[in-house]
Amino acid sequence: MFYRRIFGMNWMIWTCLVLSVAWLLGSMIALLVCPAPIPYFWNEMMDPTGGRYRYKFLNYYIGNAAGNVASDVLILLVPFPIVWKLKMRTTQKIMVSSVLLLGVL
């Protein structure tokens, strides 16, 4: 929302928004359909033999983390083309870009 206020709604912001929502929905669906049957997720402690998982949660967590990092990098890179099109000296562009890169920390 902050990017939209400053830079306006361009195609990069729309792309980031669509990818973020799609990733959210995909990861939620993948988490919900992992146990077979679905209530096994909540009943596993009471009846360990009442179901199974379709895949290992470690693989899910690693894949989900990788996708989240990729989307964070994409969102971080959104303002750079706009900053580099501004009519400023190159040193000022580098300084503004470095301030925006503080979001990495």
pLDDT digits (tens, 9 = 90+) for 8-45: 767 878 888 899 999 999 999 998 888 888 888 888 88
| Structure-block tokens of residue 81 | 């083309």
pLDDT on residue 104? 78
For residue 68, CA distances in Å to 16, 23, 54, 74, 75 come to: 12, 8, 22, 10, 11
Q: What are the percentages of helix, strand and coil residues in the chain, rounded to 5?
A: 70, 5, 25
Q: Is 94 helix (H, G, I), strand (E, B) or coil?
A: helix
Mean pLDDT across 67-95? 88
Question: Each residue of 36-80: pLDDT tens digit?
Answer: 888 888 888 888 888 888 888 888 899 999 999 998 888 888 888
The one-letter amino acid code at 25 reads L
User: By the 8 A CB rule, do 83 and 97 touch?
Assistant: yes
